[in-house]
Structure 1
């Protein structure tokens, strides 16, 4: 029996619906995470030695043993979150096992020795105990460790104290070259890298270095000399675009760690730099033409690019010391999907924990369930400063903040429960005032639709052709 044009149209539409349903069913949920893990160390080379000695053998001191245990706690948290793509902030840089950094960008695919040691000796091994259960190792097939501006001497007296040298006079604060760097782990192939370590602050249009609206001596154009303004880099560490190949799709993982908007004076140089560091990625996702990278390329992302922004941005939407609510530049950007905000019950509980050493949390505006950092409760209090933000052209399936609830707020956080991995400020202190980090791991589950295979494209084209043919037949029959 010959089918009518109308029947052919229905069949074609059914084919198209089936193809769409198939693509949706095959869409992959990918977990992107960021974790300021406080794996920086106080002396150059200490991170390498810590990660090379996971069993703390050789008669190490109690302080070293605590640092090694802290690294194990960090690894266990990562295993429990089990991300597919991970940014680790505050991870000291080395070049093939030699501690330090440089202004020459790391080659695509470069992994520092510390990043490899952390994978082999910590992430790949089981952790946990009988109370909270044990974990399985997590393996990342791909890594990238970018160079960092932290600790690199600028040659200028940037803090205006009358002497040149030290962390405050580096391109980015660091007591030694490479301190506070970051590294990226991925289960998906890294197919491209752009870094912006050497981008000059003055080259951002309407920047706060040369266009500071502040009057008088606290205007940055007055605070910094003309020579310093010519040489200052925007990124306190680095801004990095790592392109991942996920089910045939390219997804840009945009990573950074802007400077804290504190540790300065009335001029608020760090607050203003933090603002422009955050603004850089807003401009980047909007395709700004002024941008140039360390590899010789120019411009930002394409209009239809898929991206995930991740990192410790040192800026809370409503609390803390950030300049002009800096993070809202990203949170209010039309290209960013903010329909979902990661949260935790632990953040809510921590705001009123009896161990708190101050009352700053009580005067805050933001909901503590969104907090991601356990800072001193005298000031600034707990804040939301760590972000994983998806582009608006991707669906978010969920996410969270690794901040478990404390089942007993009167104990010393050493019973072995899950909460003991995060602890409270200065209660169970292994390194940096906590058993793991003052920041919590944050993750977002994003739906990545695959690129249809060749035969699927052929079926889709055929279906569209049938629809067009049927429509033409119907028109000619009238």
Structure 2
């Protein structure tokens, strides 16, 4: 995306009047997931193979907020191999170019361009010049340029006609597959929607294989009004900003326009593409649009199916298209994707101080709070299932990928929904159906679309072995210490490598053995505490490792001053369960082995567990500060659930006395809860093997509730017996994991 400097004003950055202070999120980042269908990998129009998007964004001072968004429908020469297409007009108060020929011939022969109302002519000029310049078009004497527009004249000095032919050509040349910049970008730079800052938004839907496996992608340029409704949440009314507010004092407040571009790889002819385009307006309606007299609402739909492309030189075209009876699932897909694309255009926008005034971005914090309150109001259950599962989804577990250890391995595994181990993990989760689940050893991937969201969409949202699909709209993901380089030789082998034993937590790359929390209930984000960077030295009475050969500290003074106690991280994540708060206390302490006589990992494991025990004990956690430097800990009468792979057995030869007892004997913890399984019972002759949670023979994974605020109604370990048909899910680490999912059922009591 290019931000062009205008010749008259060379100091663009100091004069920019776009504020990034407001939080920018995509809808699914805060639990807004319209509909029932899964999204594509990127949740973008570019999930449709061959579709590319390019943008040029123009911001300069208060006067200029406009730009160009170009959508290339398919690979190759569009003028010579056209794609079937259709246009539907919801309300014709607009200046779209190219519409009559699309309606007459049912095809598109150029990129689709979006810009502002008074730059349509430049859009046409740029599209025509680019098309004529393409190899194979030397004899072309007619080009039907497709240019859509909305009027950004409130924030942008539209009469200045800033967009040039060169901007249009550059946007087309920059077009690429991959993520699309949303909000104040391209043609969305100066648009408004529902009284807030609008812009570019995109989303996609993927049909299940049983319905053809087709993808529908949508891109919108939102610049319209109405009474904003966010997936059932009456946001416009709650925020006192909507059409006809204040005694109907402004009947043009909902005027504007929306341009919608719909792409699909389904083999639809132009007639059914028009039917598909028509349904996109239902997605607009779901957001609360008023569709007023002065609103120009246009939908352009095309199919990228290669067999349907129309060769300019061919005297006849013959192809197989979808029957009318098969297209209804695509209708649902376009409705859902349009709705979500509009939400993304709003949620990814930023405040703008413009030509005629200022426009604020939709306040994400308020939307998040309203969603939390609405969830509590509409859900009535007072029961909760919480689970933990060490899923072994870290890169060294996938040697067949052929990739070096790193987060690219898991990205590839999650991209297509076909990995047998991950499908089994998803089936286990679907069968146990937790409301909240902590996943340990799930490699940290910062881009949720490539990581945890891909896992949800490609595996959990898809039925595994006939089980009902499951969804988790709320995700808590944060960095961990494993593989995070330190500058020290922490394992004392004479080399400071920054990796392995010299990382803050053992790992070959940053984020290995990460963790993530999935929830059906919203998080209270402003009350989350992370202890990732808490220093071991700051724990009173810390078990500082000593080298017995020299009787000196294992870590020198400089190392000890910086050493992070948490091998991964310690999290306190408050969850709003129908208006009552449950603190999920998540951790994954280091294994108490893989060291020497100094017992540095054993001592660290002890103190990692102690850190959480002190955190939940009001009289012991005064010394604890979180990653933001805030004093942290739980007060009396707090409802919490401890969850994670604690690497601390409670019985047998792997039991280290005094370690796990810091939790199970804690007066604030209900340590009497011991989940069991028949599979564990038959795995070993030990009398306590029913409680085993790992194939190496120990109870390592825990879900422990607070004594306050809960009535325990059930618990278990997912470990089927060998005779069970479900044993296939746990028969070895390759089947799923070397750990078992552990779950706890509770009934919430008290306030």
Corresponding position: 1:73 with 2:424: yes
Q: Please state if 1:309 is matched with 2:642.
A: yes
Question: What SS is found at the alignment partner of 2:501?
Answer: helix
CA deviations 1:105-149 (Å, max 9, x no partner) are xxxxxx563100000000010111xxxxx2011111100111100
Aligned partner (choices 491, 498, 506) of residue 173 of structure 1: 506
| 1:164 paired residue among 468, 484, 496 | 496
Q: Which runs of 4+ in 1 moved over 4 A?
A: 320-323
Name the CA distance, whole Å, in 2 between partners of 1:215 and 1:260: 19
TM-superposition CA deviations, 1:5-48 (whole Å, max 9, x none): xxxxxxxxxxxxxxxxxxxxx76110000000001112111001
Do the aligned residues in 1 keep the contact of 2:547 with 2:553 (CA within 8 Å)? no
Q: Given the alignment of the two structures, is residue 344 of structure 1 paired with residue 644 of structure 2, yes or no?
A: no
Do 1:248 and 1:450's aligned partners in 2 also have CA atoms closer than 8 Å? no
2:613 maps to which residue?
282
User: What SS is found at the alignment partner of 1:254?
Assistant: strand
Gaps of 5+ in 1: 1-25, 56-67, 97-110, 129-133, 353-363, 376-381, 409-416, 425-432, 452-478
Which residue in 2 is equivalent to 1:422?
Answer: 730
Cα distance in structure 2, aligned partners of 1:232 and 1:320 = 30
Q: 1:150 maps to what in 2? A: 482
Structure 1 residues 282 and 161, CA gap change in structure 2 (3 angstroms): same
Cα distance in 2 between the residues matched to 1:173 and 1:207? 20
SS at match of 2:667: coil
- In the alignment, which residue of structure 2 is the partner of 1:258? 589
**Selected match of 2:714 from 395, 398, 402:** 398
Say whether 1:140 aligns with 2:472. yes
Distance 1:229 1:250 in 2: 36
**How much has 1:247 moved relative to structure 2?**
1.7
In 2: Cα distance, 1:154 partner to 1:177 partner: 11
* Structure possessing the higher relative contact order (Cα contacts under 8 Å, 6 or more residues apart): 1
- Partner residue, 1:120: 457
Q: Is the 8 A contact 1:31 1:443 kept in 2?
A: yes
Partner of residue 749 from structure 2, selected from 438, 443, 449:
449
Q: Which has the larger radius of gyration?
A: 2
Task: Please give the residue correspondences for 1:222-241 in structure 2 after superposition, counting only pairs within 5 Å.
Answer: 222-241=553-572
For the 8 Å contact 1:275–1:322, the answer to whether it is kept is: no
CA shift at 1:94, angstroms?
1.5
8 Å Cα contact 1:40/1:92 also seen in 2: yes
- Residue by residue over 1:352-408, the C-alpha shift from the partner in whole angstroms, topping out at 9 and shown as x without a partner, is 5xxxxxxxxxxx6x6000000002xxxxxx100000000001211111000001118
By how many angstroms is 1:446 displaced?
1.1
Work out which of the residue numbers 689, 692, 695 in structure 2 matches 1:371.
692
Secondary structure of the 1:185 match is strand
Of the three residues 683, 699, 706, the one matched with 1:384 is: 699
SS at the partner of 1:176?
coil
Residue 411 of structure 1 aligns with which residue? none
- Which of 225, 243, 246 is residue 574 of structure 2 equivalent to? 243
Is the Cα contact below 8 Å between 2:547 and 2:554 reproduced in 1? no
Offset at residue 244 of structure 1 (A): 0.4
Q: Secondary structure at the match of 2:723?
A: coil
1:359 corresponding residue in structure 2: none
1:292 to 617, 621, 625: 625
The 5 Å alignment of 1:24-63 reads 28-42=382-396, 43-44=405-406, 45-55=408-418
Q: Distance in 1 between matches of 2:449 and 2:630?
A: 24
Counterparts of 2:635 and 2:575, CA distance in 1: 15
Cα 1:249–1:350 change in 2 (3 A) is: same
Unpaired runs of 5+ in structure 2?
Answer: 1-379, 397-404
d(CA) in 2 for partners of 1:320, 1:218: 29
Task: Decide whether the 8 Å contact of 1:112 with 1:145 is kept in 2.
Answer: no
- Contact 1:262–1:321 (Cα < 8 Å) also in 2: no
Task: Please state whether the residue corresponding to 1:336 is helix, strand or coil.
Answer: coil
1:91 aligns with 2:442: yes
CA positional deviation for 1:320:
4.4
* Aligned CA-pair RMSD: 1.7
CA offsets 1:213-258 (integer angstroms, 9 cap, x no match): x784476x62111111111100000001110011211110000000
* TM-score after normalising by structure 2: 0.46
Q: Quick one: distance in 1 between partners of 2:626 and 2:519?
A: 22
SS in structure 2 at match of 1:30: strand
How many residues are treated as equivalent by the alignment? 357
Asked if structure 2 preserves the Cα contact closer than 8 Å seen for 1:93 and 1:182, the reply is yes
**1:44-97, Cα deviation, whole Å (9 max, x unpaired):** 110011100223xxxxxxxxxxxx21011100000011000000000001222x
2:555, 2:749 → 1: CA distance? 48
Q: Give the structure with the larger strand fraction.
A: 2
Question: 2:673–2:704: 8 Å Cα contact kept in structure 1?
Answer: no
Q: Which moved more, 1:165-174 or 1:111-120?
A: 111-120
**Structure 1 residues 415-474: Cα deviation after superposition (integer angstroms, max 9, x where no partner):** xx20110004xxxxxxxx4310000000000111375xxxxxxxxxxxxxxxxxxxxxxx
Matched position secondary structure for 1:95: coil
